[in-house]
Amino acid sequence: MSEPIDSASDDRTVNNVVRHKYRVLSDAEKQQMSDLKDKGAEFIALCQQTGESRELSLAITKIEEAVMWSVKHVTS
C-alpha cells in the first residue's frame, strides 16, 4: 500500500485509482475542501456526543456522503 497523501496536497494526483486525471487545485479550492471536511467532522463529533443508535449511524453516514459529494464538486 502506498503512503498516505494529504488531500490538499498537489501530490494527491499520484495515487489515482478511479479518476484518470486530477487537476491541481487553487489555494482557494484547497481551503474550501478543507473547510468542508472540517465542518463535516465537527458535525459528526456533535452527533456522536448524543449517544448511539441506528438512526445516528445513518445520520453520520449521510454526513460523510454529503462531505464526499461537496468535495467532489470542488475538486472536479
pLDDT per residue as tens digits for the range 6-21: 777 776 666 566 666 6
What backbone torsions phi and psi does residue 68 show, to the nearest 5 degrees? -60, -50
In a domain, 56, yes or no: yes
DSSP state of 17: S
State residue 5's pLDDT score.
67
Residue 69 lies in a domain: yes
How would residue 76 be classed by pLDDT, with cut points 50, 70 and 90? Answer: confident
How much is the average pLDDT of 49-73? Answer: 97
Q: What is the mean pLDDT of residues 62-74?
A: 96
For the chain, the domain total comes to 1
Nearest alpha-carbon partner for 40 in 57, 56, 62, 58 = 62
Q: Is residue 10, in this structure, part of any structural domain at all?
A: no
Q: Which residue has the cell 503512503?
A: 3
The answer to whether the beta carbons of residues 22 and 12 sit under 8 Å apart is yes
Mean pLDDT of 48-68: 97
User: Measured between alpha carbons, how far is 13 from 7 in angstroms, rounded to an integer?
Assistant: 10
